[in-house]
A and B are shown apart, each in its own frame.
Chain A
């Protein structure tokens, strides 16, 4: 059981000497309870207390890192079942499958497309993480050739899957200095695969259709000295897969069951499976088709699910059009805190009056809070106006500020020459009335 701040405090010296960098022992205790500091920061903890405090430390799900020249993909280290409890940390690595049966030209083209795929989502560059080479030809030569073809186009981390160890043996030397993943080890071939993994210092994927089966394999692999393991739970259908994933996560976190304390990998065939794997616990996802129109939404979904929910709920900053506004209609500005946005948007929408709603990036704070923290000032508002290209879009340049920041009107005027700056009401409920009585009048 995790100790509460007060429980930890009772084990500390309670002298408030401040040497740990915190003003009081209790402050330090609370940080410890939240796992945000190391116990060693306090030089005065008694040995006895140390023993009591150190028991629940090692991460329940092992961190696995796949590496290649210049790239790295991480999975594991997760601590919660539901993202709202804290956050999900390591986004599932997205790998696209390339088959050894494919002609070399195709392999190269595909590898190049994967390597070059890059898409911008809210200012973040999203990419595919790596390539999974599947030895469907079951041929060591093809494996070697395919890897070389891939490597001629892409340096991203690789996974090698084959039903015969000899293919892997043929492939691995091409990847010296890297940490790929190899697999999949099952109850029959595990020994050879484990040996290979150990020799070439790769991560090893083990596959089974039950939690027990997986646990058995990891124990065996571990006994051979392989530590970096990845679980491939083979569900019979989507529902079964979800249950397996959930059980693995739960046993690792709640029961501290180390045998399944590894990230998982899913081979996905359809969108439902991909969505599920991203939402529910996969550490790596291998997809067998590369299509921009699918990769893009998947990368976005992954980005969304793995954002930190401790941050305030935000809406996308930008321009929102309500009730089909024309370039002559007013621009109402507000912040990107979701509740603020919704209350304003709902009022405008409900009034039936057309308006452009300009949502400024105020780091997800409400109007007043953002203003207080210096995140919603004339400069930011002007920036939002520019970003939305309103100078060109609007034929009548009218900007309505929330009443709560009426004080900003002068500065905004200075920042936005040519704009008519109006101060709206303090409360969203008064917007329709303000619109009718003020904006419609002149």
Chain B
């Protein structure tokens, strides 16, 4: 039999292998370990390499785009060597970006052609104030007002007492030169009310940053972006679990807690506390400047309606009681100090408008940032959070609904769940014969827990390999020590204690599986009801945009396999990361966008799921893997047949 030379990564010394050898084996001989998450079964597509010279016979090209195949990419575990070769083994991260099933969050970019003076609402003016004397006995406040009127043409400027206190010293300290910050946000009726936000001595550098923050208050996760309004550039992105979690996992628990004596106040303090921490953290993260929280002058907030109420300290009681009427969908602008936010006390806090009790500003902001209101394509937009909120529509019309998915996809409410940060398992593959898992950890170190994407991936693998049946029951008759009786019933061990950070086993329990099933069923049922409500078949959707706290990564194929996402061609999906905070960021940067959010809120039609039992029906039918009606998931049906789940007894 013929022998061939194979060179890896341009190394000088090729290895010599027999004809018919797989690239993975040749690599091992060359001392290079190619990752084989699925155990070389040609299922995962993770062992991608690029053949730069020579030809191989490919048994399978699963998950590779035709473009990549043209460039010589192939699956190492499926490629048989039949000639001399030169092979490049790419880094894992680059592999993902190439796979048609994987999505990493789209990066943020400032608006094209951004100009601070034209787009956003904070204005900085350098004033030279006429000094008083014995003739001109005008007081400092009137002096400032006169200057604003005469030099800048602002007739009416709101100046709070806290700023009046600063005027005299600023004038004198700056030797009658001051910098003022004004907010010119236009109100609901289009009439501008000008607000003084800060006054400081001296003229600062013309291109000094003007700091603003965009915030998304999720029920489970809070995210904050620190933005230089002058350049539009995001300098820090931070997030943390909402400290209110200890008072209940979902909005309902929080509402009920808020009804208790002192509860509302406590929850308000907890959320503001979380945000204040994030502000500090974000300021520290900024590389090129020293930023203090007091320099943040404008804040836009996206949040679900309950969180918005709690953030402002407004009782949310009626949100949970039929017919579900919130106190407000659109709050007026407030000053930071009114709610205890530790940014500049006079900073303008703009709470973005929502639609209804269960469709808040996080969704309107998400729709904006995803551009759903601006597209001709029939779009399904989904924001996976503790509440799964979704929108169907296009430029012409928008319908929306919200379903209680629970925090499972945010890694909460699952025994070994965690946020998508360092140490989280974000992807799992299980060998279909040995039932041994391979996983990938964010940051590459030892695992600490499993994040939302990891849970989706894990559930899909458990199902595809027959470790669980379609109802989520663990198959106890398989011979593997990983399936065992745990404290909460049966469980499957993903990582043994010796592999983990904390030395404890990381496992998924039957209860976790139920939680995940419920979460995914609620979301899918939402799609069904939404589509039904307007009489548009779900299959007609032209694009699916996904937002949420999945971290940076989502596997579309796995999400379809568990029946979370509808079975549409992979290329129709796009993962946008946290769309709510991005929407808040857009609103922070542009008054036009801010106005668009208002329009979105007013034109979106809200479907109340509890109005009848169509949602319940759809939910029950989705409480199965991938779905009771398998015909809705033809690709999964095919995949199951190709994996050939062994018959269990």
Direct contact of A and B (CB under 8 A): yes
- Nearest residue, chain B, Cβ from A339: B620
In the complex, how many angstroms separate the beta carbon of A438 from the nearest chain B beta carbon?
15
The 0/1 profile, CB within 8 Å of A marked 1, for residues 521-553 of chain B is: 000000000000111100000000000000000
Is the CB of B43 closer than 8 A to any CB of chain A?
no
* Inter-chain contacts of A26 with B (CB < 8 A): 397, 399, 534, 605
- Nearest residue, chain A, Cβ from B356: A23
Give the contact stretch, choosing among A57-65, A238-246, A367-375.
Answer: A367-375
| In the bound complex, CA of A24 to CA of B396 (Å) | 12
Is the CB of A414 closer than 8 A to any CB of chain B?
no
- Nearest residue, chain B, Cβ from A368: B252
The 0/1 profile, CB within 8 Å of A marked 1, for residues 359-398 of chain B is: 0000000000000000000000000000000000000010
Across chains A and B, the number of contacting residue pairs, with CB separation under 8 Å, is 62
Is the CB of A13 closer than 8 A to any CB of chain B?
no
Is the CB of B146 closer than 8 A to any CB of chain A?
no
| In the bound complex, CA of A9 to CA of B511 (Å) | 44
In the complex, how many angstroms separate the beta carbon of B599 from the nearest chain A beta carbon?
10
* Inter-chain contacts of A427 with B (CB < 8 A): 488, 511, 514
Check if B534 sits within 8 Å of A6, measured CB to CB: yes
| In the bound complex, CA of A48 to CA of B640 (Å) | 52
Check if B488 sits within 8 Å of A430, measured CB to CB: yes
The SS class assigned to the B binding surface is mixed
Is the CB of A187 closer than 8 A to any CB of chain B?
no
Please tell me which one of the listed residues B320, B399, B535 contacts residue A372 in the complex, with CB atoms under 8 A apart.
B320
Is the CB of B489 closer than 8 A to any CB of chain A?
yes
Check if B533 sits within 8 Å of A372, measured CB to CB: no
Check if B535 sits within 8 Å of A312, measured CB to CB: no
* Inter-chain contacts of B322 with A (CB < 8 A): 373
- Nearest residue, chain A, Cβ from B489: A429
Is the CB of A16 closer than 8 A to any CB of chain B?
yes
With A407-B256, A427-B511: A311-B321 Cβ-Cβ less than 8 Å: no
| Interface size class, chain B | 20 to 34
With A26-B605, A371-B252, A374-B320: A6-B488 Cβ-Cβ less than 8 Å: no
| In the bound complex, CA of A33 to CA of B616 (Å) | 21
Check if A5 sits within 8 Å of B602, measured CB to CB: no
Is the CB of A326 closer than 8 A to any CB of chain B?
no
| In the bound complex, CA of A7 to CA of B533 (Å) | 12
| In the bound complex, CA of A24 to CA of B356 (Å) | 13
In the complex, how many angstroms separate the beta carbon of B365 from the nearest chain A beta carbon?
19
* Inter-chain contacts of A310 with B (CB < 8 A): 612-613
- Nearest residue, chain B, Cβ from A30: B533
* Inter-chain contacts of A7 with B (CB < 8 A): 535
Is the CB of B298 closer than 8 A to any CB of chain A?
no
The 0/1 profile, CB within 8 Å of B marked 1, for residues 401-442 of chain A is: 000000100000000000000000011011000000000000
Is the CB of B604 closer than 8 A to any CB of chain A?
yes
Chain A CB within 10 Å — which of B397, B489, B604 has the most?
A: B397
With A310-B612, A310-B613, A427-B511: A5-B534 Cβ-Cβ less than 8 Å: yes
With A23-B605, A427-B511, A429-B510: A5-B616 Cβ-Cβ less than 8 Å: no
Please tell me which one of the listed residues A5, A24, A27, A426 contacts residue B535 in the complex, with CB atoms under 8 A apart.
A5
| In the bound complex, CA of A312 to CA of B619 (Å) | 13
Is the CB of B149 closer than 8 A to any CB of chain A?
no
With A311-B613, A312-B613, A430-B488: A30-B320 Cβ-Cβ less than 8 Å: no
Please tell me which one of the listed residues B602, B607, B612 contacts residue A16 in the complex, with CB atoms under 8 A apart.
B602
Check if B605 sits within 8 Å of A33, measured CB to CB: no
Check if A30 sits within 8 Å of B605, measured CB to CB: yes
In the complex, how many angstroms separate the beta carbon of A347 from the nearest chain B beta carbon?
12
* Inter-chain contacts of A46 with B (CB < 8 A): none
Please tell me which one of the listed residues A4, A27, A407, A430 contacts residue B605 in the complex, with CB atoms under 8 A apart.
A27
The 0/1 profile, CB within 8 Å of A marked 1, for residues 315-354 of chain B is: 0000011100000000000000000000000000000000
Please tell me which one of the listed residues B321, B397, B533, B612 contacts residue A373 in the complex, with CB atoms under 8 A apart.
B321
* Inter-chain contacts of B533 with A (CB < 8 A): 5, 30
Check if A30 sits within 8 Å of B534, measured CB to CB: yes
Is the CB of B233 closer than 8 A to any CB of chain A?
no
In the complex, how many angstroms separate the beta carbon of B68 from the nearest chain A beta carbon?
39
| In the bound complex, CA of A310 to CA of B607 (Å) | 16
* Inter-chain contacts of B511 with A (CB < 8 A): 426-427, 429
| In the bound complex, CA of A310 to CA of B614 (Å) | 8
Is the CB of B504 closer than 8 A to any CB of chain A?
no
Check if B606 sits within 8 Å of A27, measured CB to CB: yes
| In the bound complex, CA of A23 to CA of B329 (Å) | 13
- Nearest residue, chain A, Cβ from B252: A372
Please tell me which one of the listed residues B320, B321, B510, B603 contacts residue A24 in the complex, with CB atoms under 8 A apart.
B603
- Nearest residue, chain A, Cβ from B514: A427
Check if B534 sits within 8 Å of A24, measured CB to CB: no
The 0/1 profile, CB within 8 Å of A marked 1, for residues 236-270 of chain B is: 00000000000000001100100000000000000
* Inter-chain contacts of B605 with A (CB < 8 A): 23-24, 26-27, 30
* Inter-chain contacts of B489 with A (CB < 8 A): 429-430
| In the bound complex, CA of A309 to CA of B256 (Å) | 30
In the complex, how many angstroms separate the beta carbon of B328 from the nearest chain A beta carbon?
15
* Inter-chain contacts of A374 with B (CB < 8 A): 320-321
In the complex, how many angstroms separate the beta carbon of A315 from the nearest chain B beta carbon?
16
- Nearest residue, chain A, Cβ from B601: A23
| In the bound complex, CA of A427 to CA of B602 (Å) | 41
* Inter-chain contacts of B616 with A (CB < 8 A): 312
- Nearest residue, chain A, Cβ from B399: A26
- Nearest residue, chain B, Cβ from A309: B613
CB within 8 Å of A: which B597-649 residues: 602-607, 612-613, 616
* Inter-chain contacts of A407 with B (CB < 8 A): 253, 256
In the complex, how many angstroms separate the beta carbon of A80 from the nearest chain B beta carbon?
14
| In the bound complex, CA of A23 to CA of B613 (Å) | 23
In the complex, how many angstroms separate the beta carbon of A413 from the nearest chain B beta carbon?
16
Please tell me which one of the listed residues B510, B534, B602 contacts residue A23 in the complex, with CB atoms under 8 A apart.
B602
- Nearest residue, chain A, Cβ from B397: A26
| In the bound complex, CA of A368 to CA of B612 (Å) | 18
- Nearest residue, chain B, Cβ from A372: B252
| In the bound complex, CA of A33 to CA of B536 (Å) | 13
* Inter-chain contacts of B604 with A (CB < 8 A): 24
- Nearest residue, chain A, Cβ from B617: A84
- Nearest residue, chain B, Cβ from A33: B535
Check if B320 sits within 8 Å of A16, measured CB to CB: no
| In the bound complex, CA of A310 to CA of B611 (Å) | 9
The 0/1 profile, CB within 8 Å of B marked 1, for residues 2-24 of chain A is: 00111101000000100000011
- Nearest residue, chain B, Cβ from A6: B534
| In the bound complex, CA of A430 to CA of B514 (Å) | 13
| In the bound complex, CA of A373 to CA of B510 (Å) | 28
CB within 8 Å of B: which A14-48 residues: 16, 23-24, 26-27, 30, 33
Chain A CB within 10 Å — which of B320, B534, B602 has the most?
A: B534
* Inter-chain contacts of A429 with B (CB < 8 A): 489, 510-511
- Nearest residue, chain B, Cβ from A22: B605
- Nearest residue, chain A, Cβ from B515: A427
- Nearest residue, chain B, Cβ from A364: B613
The 0/1 profile, CB within 8 Å of A marked 1, for residues 114-125 of chain B is: 000000000000
Check if A9 sits within 8 Å of B397, measured CB to CB: yes
CB within 8 Å of B: which A361-398 residues: 368, 371-374
8 tightest Cβ-Cβ pairs between the two chains A and B:
A4-B535, A372-B252, A26-B605, A310-B612, A27-B605, A24-B605, A6-B534, A5-B534
Extra contacts besides A30-B533, A30-B607 (20): CB < 8 Å:
A4-B535, A5-B533, A6-B534, A16-B602, A23-B606, A24-B397, A24-B603, A24-B604, A24-B605, A26-B534, A27-B605, A30-B605, A310-B612, A310-B613, A311-B613, A312-B613, A372-B252, A373-B321, A407-B253, A429-B489
30 contacts between A and B (CB under 8 A): A4-B534, A4-B535, A6-B397, A6-B534, A6-B535, A6-B536, A16-B603, A24-B397, A24-B603, A24-B604, A26-B397, A26-B399, A309-B613, A310-B612, A310-B613, A311-B613, A312-B616, A368-B252, A371-B256, A372-B252, A372-B320, A373-B320, A374-B321, A407-B256, A426-B511, A427-B488, A427-B514, A429-B489, A429-B511, A430-B489
B residues touching A (Cβ–Cβ < 8 Å)?
252-253, 256, 320-322, 397, 399, 488-489, 510-511, 514, 533-536, 602-607, 612-613, 616
